[in-house]
Every structure is written in structure tokens, then in C-alpha cells.
């Protein structure tokens, strides 16, 4: 079968299964998730064997230690996957939730209810746990999903996919609701995101190159997460101890993630008080600072920033620092260089905080809190399938609700329209 036929048939099978899965009850879906967490625990040795083959092949190709670590499974990581499936099962079912319920003057009852989205295509890299979490989230939301993981994790993903299929079959749900697109040919991704008849939404998750590739070729809607260029603005009068704590946590608690801080902005009128302590704490934490001229004058440990440092996603212990002309200067910098991910302010002034909330255009806007909270689990959504920085369909952490759409229900007793 040609690659084009394989992709098209895979997506058609997902569409058929999605129709069977959509009307299933919460109990039936949760039973499949319980079966999956059980299977993960009892199949650890088979999973580790498949994963070992992936690791050997990756090492042979000279893959670096960071990627090898992301790829590797062990008993602890398998147990974590099993637990995350149980947590997803414990979440409330979004399907059937009534968003709106009103009665019209004619007596017609009008409801808007959440229903499964249909078929989701998920394109991702390395980490095998995404295979399990994306499957569990889509099953719970009543969606079918087509998974296209990274070639490095090919064998691990297939082994995990077989467990998902077994769990669906054992629970009386359509096994076709989770499809693994097995081809390692990159052209499969292009074809996958062009299946307008059968795929409702594509979610690319990985490096910027992958997301640009998907966006360029997609004919189906794409929920995007390009980059996390997060800022923290220290406003005049900011509590010094809080400013230090927020900057250090946002930058250094996990520098390689998308909600980590990449640029610190400081009010010019208060930089003399704020910057020395904040810069000192960051440097003590092993962070390199790249500052504007004023920053470098106040904190001589900073090296001069170049134009390319503004808006840069370092994903490392590097931070751009700029002294700005108050709130308006900070807003202008964020509008120009931000990526619409997470923008934080540290301020004692409620009026300034309110302008920040209103005027910053980003998926998540934080006042006196670390940028690191922008995460499905931290915000109380449970597991997330990604964070959307695009504006349409969904924005921010993508939990179960982001995998649903809606349907209007009209109930009458014979009403006709004049």
C-alpha cells in the first residue's frame, strides 16, 4: 500500500471508531483507562525491552545524552504513566456538560452541550509518555486519535500503543480509536495533516521546526505552540524579596521548559533598588545575564545584550535583562518581543496590575506569581496535551475540554418558525 493510502486508511479507521466511541458513557471510558493503567504495570518488562532497542539504535546514531534521557523508560517512569492514566480517569467527563440552557418565548428549549471533537492528529517527538497521556486524554474526551511519534521512540511507542488497543478491546470500546501511524517517513506527517475529510484537529508538539512544518502543510486546523518567550516585569515599588523569589523561580527552577523566564524587565525609576539583589541572586544560581546598557551599569556582572537577545528563547541558564520606562515601556517590549505564552508582573499597585491583565495579549497573564504556573496540572486542569499559544479553538493549557466541541440541542413540542 502506498504511504498516501496508509495515512488515508488510518485516518478513516479513526473516523469510524470516533463515531462508535463518541456516545459511550463515562463509566465505559473510565473502565478502559483503568484497564490501561493495569496493563502498563503488568507489561513493564515488555515495554523496557522495546525501549532498550530504541535506546541502542539511538546511541548507535550518536544521539546526545539529553535526548537519550527523554527517550528512556524505567520502572519509575512506567509507574508514573500508569498513575497519570488513573488521574485522567478521575477527571470529570467534559462530554455532555451543558454550557448554556435557555427557554425561548415560543417555549423552545435551547441547550448548548459539549460533545467529542472527533478525530485528533497528534504529532510529537521523543518522550514515549506522550503516547500514553494523549491516548488517555482522547479516550476520556470521546475522541479518536492518530498518533505520530518521533522515530527515536518508534518501538517504545508501538509497544505502548498495543497496550492501549488491548485496553480498549478488553473494555468493549472500539480498538481503532487510537491509531499509531507507523511510518517513520516524514512525508507521513504532511499527508496526515491534509486529511480534511477525517481529521478535525492537528496538535503538533515539539521543536519549532516541527510546528512550522505542520503549519506550512496543514489543511486541517492546527493548535499551535510555537515558543515560550516569557517576561517578568518588576514594577516600581515591587517587594524586593518577592521580586527575587519570582525571578529565581521563573528562570532557574527548570530553565529548559516553555514557561521558564527568558527576559526580565525592570522599571527605570526603581532599577537602582531592585536590580542589584535580583541580579545577584540569579548569578548566584548560575545564570548568565545579558543586559541593556543601564542594566550593565547597575549590575556589572551582566554582559551586554545584543538585539537578538530580546525575544530569544534561551531554554537555558541565560536571561535577558532590560530597564524600561515604566509600565508602558514594559507593555511595549512585551507586545514586540513576547510570544503570547506567559507574561508576569511583580507590582504592589492594583491599578498597574489591572492594566497588565487587560493590555497584555498572551495565553496566560500572571500578577505576583511565577511564570512556571502556566501548566495544566498547576492550574487544576489535570493532565494536558500541550499549551496553545494560538488564539483560535483553544488558548493556554489544553486539558479535556480543549478536546471537545459543542452541539446545539433544540427541544420543542411542534414549534415552527414564522
Nearer to its own copies, 79 or 378 (CB): 378
Q: Which of residues 201-220 bind its own copies (CB under 8 A)?
A: 201, 215-216, 219
Residue 364 found at the interface with its own copies (CB under 8 A)? yes
Please identify, among the stretches 72-80, 132-140, 322-330, 385-393, the one whose residues bind its own copies according to the rule CB under 8 A. 385-393
**How would you classify residue 206: left for phi > 0, otherwise alpha for psi between -120 and 50, otherwise beta?**
left
Residue 277 found at the interface with its own copies (CB under 8 A)? no
Tell me how far, at minimum, the Cβ of 384 lies from its own copies, in Å: 12
Q: Which of residues 74-103 bind its own copies (CB under 8 A)?
A: 102
Candidates 362, 383, 385, 400; binder of its own copies (CB under 8 A) is 362
Residue 335 found at the interface with its own copies (CB under 8 A)? yes
Nearer to its own copies, 128 or 142 (CB): 142
- Rounded Cα–Cα distance for residues 334 and 310 (Å): 10
> Quick count: other Cβ atoms within 10 Å of Cβ 191?
21
Nearer to its own copies, 136 or 201 (CB): 201
Q: Which strand ranges, in their side-by-side order, compose the sheet holding 119-124?
A: 178-180, 144-148, 119-124, 201-205
Please provide the DSSP assignment of 14-59 as one string: HHHHHHHHTT--HHHHHHHHHHHHHHHHHTHHHHHHHHHHHHHHHH
Q: Are 334 and 308 in contact (CB under 8 A)?
A: no
Q: Are 393 and 386 in contact (CB under 8 A)?
A: no
Candidates 180, 261, 369, 400; binder of its own copies (CB under 8 A) is 369
Tell me how far, at minimum, the Cβ of 204 lies from its own copies, in Å: 14
Q: Are 405 and 95 in contact (CB under 8 A)?
A: no
Candidates 108, 240, 281, 294; binder of its own copies (CB under 8 A) is 108
Tell me how far, at minimum, the Cβ of 339 lies from its own copies, in Å: 13
Candidates 87, 182, 239, 313; binder of its own copies (CB under 8 A) is 239
The position carrying cell 497496550 is 163
**How would you classify residue 29: left for phi > 0, otherwise alpha for psi between -120 and 50, otherwise beta?**
alpha
Please identify, among the stretches 2-10, 106-114, 168-176, 183-191, the one whose residues bind its own copies according to the rule CB under 8 A. 106-114
Residues 153, 399, 109: CA angle, nearest 5 degrees: 140
Residue 303 found at the interface with its own copies (CB under 8 A)? no
E-only strand ranges, 172-214: 178-180, 201-205
**What is the DSSP code (8-state) at residue 11?**
H
Tell me how far, at minimum, the Cβ of 360 lies from its own copies, in Å: 8
Q: Which of residues 144-203 bind its own copies (CB under 8 A)?
A: 196, 200-201
Please identify, among the stretches 155-163, 229-237, 321-329, 357-365, the one whose residues bind its own copies according to the rule CB under 8 A. 357-365
Candidates 146, 374, 389, 398; binder of its own copies (CB under 8 A) is 374
- Rounded Cα–Cα distance for residues 295 and 282 (Å): 14
Tell me how far, at minimum, the Cβ of 212 lies from its own copies, in Å: 11
Residue 397 found at the interface with its own copies (CB under 8 A)? yes
Amino acid at each position: 500500500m502506498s504511504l498516501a493510502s496508509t495515512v488515508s486508511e488510518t485516518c478513516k479507521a479513526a473516523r469510524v471508531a470516533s463515531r462508535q466511541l463518541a456516545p459511550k458513557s463515562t463509566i465505559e471510558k473510565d473502565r478502559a483507562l483503568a484497564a490501561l493503567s493495569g496493563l502498563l504495570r503488568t507489561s513493564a518488562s515488555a515495554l523496557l525491552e522495546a525501549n532498550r532497542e530504541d535506546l541502542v539504535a539511538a546511541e548507535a546514531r550518536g544521539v546526545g545524552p539529553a535526548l537519550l534521557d527523554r527517550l528512556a523508560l524505567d520502572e519509575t517512569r512506567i509507574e508514573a504513566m500508569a498513575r497519570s492514566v488513573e488521574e485522567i480517569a478521575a477527571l470529570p467527563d467534559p462530554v455532555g456538560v451543558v454550557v448554556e440552557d435557555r427557554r425561548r418565548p415560543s417555549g423552545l428549549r435551547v441547550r448548548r452541550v459539549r460533545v467529542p471533537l472527533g478525530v485528533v492528529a497528534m504529532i510529537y517527538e521523543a518522550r514515549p509518555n506522550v503516547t500514553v497521556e494523549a491516548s488517555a486524554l482522547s479516550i476520556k474526551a470521546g475522541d479518536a486519535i492518530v498518533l505520530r511519534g518521533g522515530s527515536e521512540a518508534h518501538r517504545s511507542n508501538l509497544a505502548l500503543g498495543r497496550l492501549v488497543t488491548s485496553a480498549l478491546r478488553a473494555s468493549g470500546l472500539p480498538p481503532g480509536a487510537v491509531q499509531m501511524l507507523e511510518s517513520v517517513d516524514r512525508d507521513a506527517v504532511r499527508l496526515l495533516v491534509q486529511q480534511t475529510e477525517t481529521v478535525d484537529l492537528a496538535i503538533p508538539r515539539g521543536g519549532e521546526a516541527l510546528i512550522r512544518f505542520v503549519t506550512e502543510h496543514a489543511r486541517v486546523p492546527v493548535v499551535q505552540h510555537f515558543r515560550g518567550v516569557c517576561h517578568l516585569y518588576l514594577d516600581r515599588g515591587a517587594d524586593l524579596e518577592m521580586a527575587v523569589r519570582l525571578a529565581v523561580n521563573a528562570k532557574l527552577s527548570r530553565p529548559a521548559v516553555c514557561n521558564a523566564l527568558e527576559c526580565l524587565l525592570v522599571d527605570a525609576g526603581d532599577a537602582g533598588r531592585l536590580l542589584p539583589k535580583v541580579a545577584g541572586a540569579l548569578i548566584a544560581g548560575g545564570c548568565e545575564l545579558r543586559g541593556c546598557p543601564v542594566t550593565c551599569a547597575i549590575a556589572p556582572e551582566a554582559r551586554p545584550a545584543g538585539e537578538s537577545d530580546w525575544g530569544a528563547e534561551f531554554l537555558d541558564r541565560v536571561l535577558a535583562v532590560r530597564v524600561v520606562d515604566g509600565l508602558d515601556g514594559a507593555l511595549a517590549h512585551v507586545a514586540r518581543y513576547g510570544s503570547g505564552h506567559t507574561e508576569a508582573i511583580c507590582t504592589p499597585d492594583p491599578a498597574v496590575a489591572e492594566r497588565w491583565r487587560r493590555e497584555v495579549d498572551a495565553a496566560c497573564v500572571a500578577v505576583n506569581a511565577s511564570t512556571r504556573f502556566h501548566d495544566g496540572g498547576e492550574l487544576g486542569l489535570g493532565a494536558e496535551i500541550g499549551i496553545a499559544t494560538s488564539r483560535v479553538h483553544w488558548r493556554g493549557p489544553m486539558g479535556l475540554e480543549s478536546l471537545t466541541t459543542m452541539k446545539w440541542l433544540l427541544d420543542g413540542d411542534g414549534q415552527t418558525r414564522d
